[in-house]
Amino acid sequence: MSAIAQTTAGTIEGSEENGLCVFRGVPFAAPPVGELRFKAPQPVESWEGVREAKSFGPISLQAPNEMLEALLPVSDPPQPQSEDCLYLNVWTPGLDGARPVMVWIHGGAFTIGSGSEDYYDGANLASRGDVVIVTINYRLGALGFLNLPALGETNFGMRDQVAALKWVQQNIANFGGDPGNVTIFGESAGGMSVASLMASPEAAGLFQKAIPQSGAGHNALSVEETNGTAFKFCAALGVEPEDVDALMAADASDILAASVAVDPLASAESAADMADAGASATPQMPFQPVIDGVFLSQLPIDHIRSGSADGVATLVGSLDEEMKLLLAAGPTEPMTDEAATAMFGMMHPEPESAYGTYRAARRERGEDDSADEIFVAAIGDIMLRVPGLRLADAQTSRAPTYAYLFDWKSPGMNGALGSCHALELPFVFGTHDAAPEFCGSGPVADAFSELTMDTWLNFAKTGNPAGAGVDAPAWDAGAKPIQVLGDNPRVEHDWRGPEVGVWDDVVS
């Protein structure tokens, strides 16, 4: 069986699968190769006849990284990679009608991942919600985010995302979607991307709703910071920073190797290494959105505070134990209070007081107050949870805004993973049954995945995540209501407030 659809560049043929029309490997921009390397994405060249769209396209060049891959899904076998990677995928219940559209932006520290990972199969969401699901690739690492004065351009990976959203605006009606009802959603670096798109004037009007998951608006680097990385990258590549011809001619494998050489997360071999790289209000990812004065003029959170996303309904949240994977992957010897307090000193100007607040709050709630647990909780808070709450504060006067907390517990590693980073992904997409060791299995897990899918679908359809499972009060900076999604769905107010308050003068 096959499905035929028309795009602005030509006709494509997908597949009919279990009542859906599925199109894989659809080009949304010209291949960013040759003279288009280190350039903003360009329009797709039209083709004659019918182009097959039944297989995923190549993914962006990326190097394997055990620490990062522990935090995110990785397909097995590995997916083909290429600089020619600007492809998207569509799952739709039908080619007629005007359904809500959900566009997924994958995570991976802006250095790994793709829109075709196994977890991101859009079939279950599309079928359950009668919506159109789109997943995209974008350029990663230096190929996506190198900022070098001689190049004259940057933010290639972010502009790839904008190009994909423009493709949606121009084409999705032919896939049964409504270009006037588009929700962007993404996790980790994908959540940071969502916030950057909310902030950038180049993405204005391309979507109506946004779901930043475990990533928000504090992640962008100044020109000075990124120039420093770029010069180190050129040294690792063995070219002069002014030699654009050499950069354009360099072998892609050498560019990838040089990207890894300047990335502390890519070279992390332990939880301590990753903590050293990430323990700050702005995690030290050398490749991330750049404050270039055009795509972004300031941090995304500051754009959003100024109204860049006026009218964009927002659902923002994180997991309750984001960085439990660090603890699970860490050394077997427990951390001492002295060592944990010293690590707090990397993040907070008054580490003893901050550490004491965490211990007292956890003890009062009857939770594990060991040094390991306190430190891992603090890393998750400063990197992901608190920036998300700041985004909710900034957006709530601009559009309907809601906050969630994901509190399902993974059975993995005998429960040591808790409600860790990336655990929500298979529940959001209804692909949890493919990873029972990570997600759990059985009727309770199935029902929870349905609740999670419905929460995201309700928001995409109406701008409000509330449903039969749990209420969802609109965000209020005073009461701080949070929709808790777990085996006990509920609404909490100012959840973990003492710990969040520790960062009031640290994360603006």
Q: Is the dihedral of CA 346, 416, 216, 490 positive or negative?
A: negative
**Which pLDDT score is estimated for 282?**
42
Measured from the Cβ of residue 453, the count of other Cβ atoms closer than 10 Å reads 18
**Which pLDDT score is estimated for 283?**
47
CATH number for 146: 3.40.50.1820
Backbone angles phi, psi at 123, to 5 degrees: -65, -45
* 115 in the same domain as 35: yes
* 301 in the same domain as 154: yes
Measured from the Cβ of residue 500, the count of other Cβ atoms closer than 10 Å reads 17
Residues in the chain: 508
Query: Which residue range is the domain that position 239 belongs to?
Result: 2-269+291-316
* 230 in the same domain as 133: yes
* 300 in the same domain as 256: yes
* 335 in the same domain as 257: no
* 350 in the same domain as 303: no
* Domain contains 275: no
* 240 in the same domain as 134: yes
* Structure tokens given for 470: 């749990």
Asked whether the predicted pLDDT for residue 149 surpasses 70, the reply is yes
Give the residue among 232, 129, 213, 114 at the shortest CA–CA distance from 458: 129
**Which residue type occupies 319?**
L
* Structure tokens given for 478: 């005073």
**Which pLDDT score is estimated for 78?**
77
Distance CA 293, CA 129 (A): 39
Are the CB atoms for 42 and 301 separated by under 8 Å?
no
Active-site residue list: 188, 322, 421
* Domain contains 281: no
**Cα-to-chain-centroid distance, residue 364:** 33
* Domain contains 356: yes
pTM of the predicted model, to two decimals? 0.95
**Which pLDDT score is estimated for 155?**
97
* Domain contains 138: yes
Tens digit of pLDDT for each residue in 158-168? 999 999 999 99
* Domain contains 395: no
* Domain contains 394: no
What is the domain count for the chain?
Answer: 2
Tens digit of pLDDT for each residue in 56-90? 999 999 987 665 555 555 666 778 999 999 999 99
Tens digit of pLDDT for each residue in 232-275? 999 999 999 999 999 999 999 999 999 999 987 665 554 555 55
Distance CA 131, CA 209 (A): 14
Measured from the Cβ of residue 266, the count of other Cβ atoms closer than 10 Å reads 24
* Structure tokens given for 187: 């996790």
**Which pLDDT score is estimated for 64?**
78
Question: Per-residue pLDDT averaged across 24-33, rounded?
Answer: 98
Strands (E), 80-146: 87-92, 99-105, 132-136
**Which pLDDT score is estimated for 79?**
87
Cis amide leading into 77 (omega within 30): yes
